[in-house]
Amino acid sequence: MKQFWQRTTDGLELNQLWNQFRIDTRASYRLYSRGIDYTRRKGVKDGRHWQAVSKQLFWAILEKLSPARRVVLLLAVLLLLITPELSWTTKAGPHHVGFDFQFWGGVLMFVLLMLEVADRVVMKRDLEIAREIQTWLLPVRPPPVPGVDIAFSTRPANTVAGDYYDVFPRPAAASTNPSYLVAVADVAGKSIPAALLMATFQASLKTLSNTPSSLVDLVGGMNLYACSNSQSGLRFITAFLAEYEPATRTLTYINAGHNQPLLRRASGRIERLDIGGVPFGIKADAIYQAGVVTLEAGDWLVVFTDGVVEAVNESDAEYGEERLVSILNAGADTSPATMLGSTMADLDLFVGNTPQHDDITCLLIKATSDTTDHSVRASNVQ
């Protein structure tokens, strides 16, 4: 029995199992309750209001099944509600028929559960393959960049993510001085659709960055490509793209509707990089402007997706930029890898057992006094 229990629970304690059950329950309820109208109409009593809400929830659950499985579920519920024994009276006297309807209702429920589990196993296997492919598209560690230390972290809300990040050198022909492209993007939505669009974003960025073009031209090309795959603006992409030139320590950037990155100067002053334009995929003829900043020794650049600052705890309070800035100020003298670990640990402490509702990506850059090639102290923290 002990071995059976250990295998069933994967060695988790009862409190861990309970917390996991709570997280799963909340996530499932959020899935089924999406689109339900909880607004109470004027003059409607409590009973009728919650009856209407329950009806919406019932159909939300039922419509997640295939038509055949809906029939099986309804039949199983009907059998579970029927009394085990039927009786009636005729002229010949009373008649009793014993038939365990509830047993067969339970059997149908078990069959339905097995069918759903089989679907989940197949889907999970396909998602694992998709995640493996996605890891090939994302860097394990940043390249050595003169004058800066870099670290990044990503956590998908589901098996695959719609967030993208990268740091890679541009060809020397694209600029007078060697430069590096810094990219962080967030595709609208989550899971498979967002991951597929993220893959196309990565491919187009790699292709366009190999052409001798300015950052403004590159961003314009990215927007045109995104507009051709955005389903009339439904699948847009927010992005922060920057080109860093170590020789001049300048960072030319464009913010395409993304969360404003935080630039913390060595003095402690906070600047927000907000110059750019609209997200990719919304307007084909959108005009983008580029901003330019100079990174001095001790400066920090924090680029993140909304999954970081919009992470919520059990009280439905958001993590927020203020808390992120406080962590940044407290660890200004540390390395990006250490800072990243502190940030993720503080985020975990804040959200507790609340399910993650969005992909989380954070990229940290710290300017150093050394502008020669060196081995970057960087990490990919999970």
Tell whether pTM > 0.75. no
The more confidently predicted of residues 234 and 306 is 306
Identify whether the C-beta of residue 381 lies closer than 8 Å to the C-beta of residue 340: yes
- Report d(CA 256, CA 238) in Å as an integer: 6
Least confident range from 73-77, 192-196, 249-253, 350-354: namely 192-196
- Report d(CA 165, CA 80) in Å as an integer: 52
Domain range summary for the chain, segments of one domain joined by +: 2-132, 140-381
pLDDT of residue 378: 39
Supply φ then ψ for residue 110, to 5 degrees.
-65, -40
- Report d(CA 344, CA 155) in Å as an integer: 10
The more confidently predicted of residues 10 and 260 is 260
pLDDT of residue 97: 61
Identify whether the C-beta of residue 332 lies closer than 8 Å to the C-beta of residue 269: no
pLDDT band at 371 (very low <50, low <70, confident <90, very high): low
Angle between helices 191-209 and 101-137 (to 10 degrees): 10
Average pLDDT over residues 160-179: 76
- Report d(CA 172, CA 151) in Å as an integer: 24
Q: Which two tokens stand for residue 82?
A: 């029927």
Average pLDDT over residues 160-170: 86
DSSP conformation class of 41: P
Please list, in sequence order, all residues whose beta carbon lies within 8 angstroms of the beta carbon of residue 94, skipping any fewer than 6 positions away: 87, 88
β-bridge pairing 300-304 and 163-170? unpaired
Q: Which among 111, 106, 165 has a CA at the least distance from the CA of 139?
A: 165
- Specify the long-range contacts of residues 330-334, CB closer than 8 Å, at least 24 apart: 332/264, 332/268, 332/298, 332/300
pLDDT of residue 183: 94
Q: Assess whether pLDDT exceeds 70 at residue 18.
A: yes
Identify whether the C-beta of residue 187 lies closer than 8 Å to the C-beta of residue 199: no
Q: Does domain 140-381 have CATH number 3.60.40.10?
A: yes
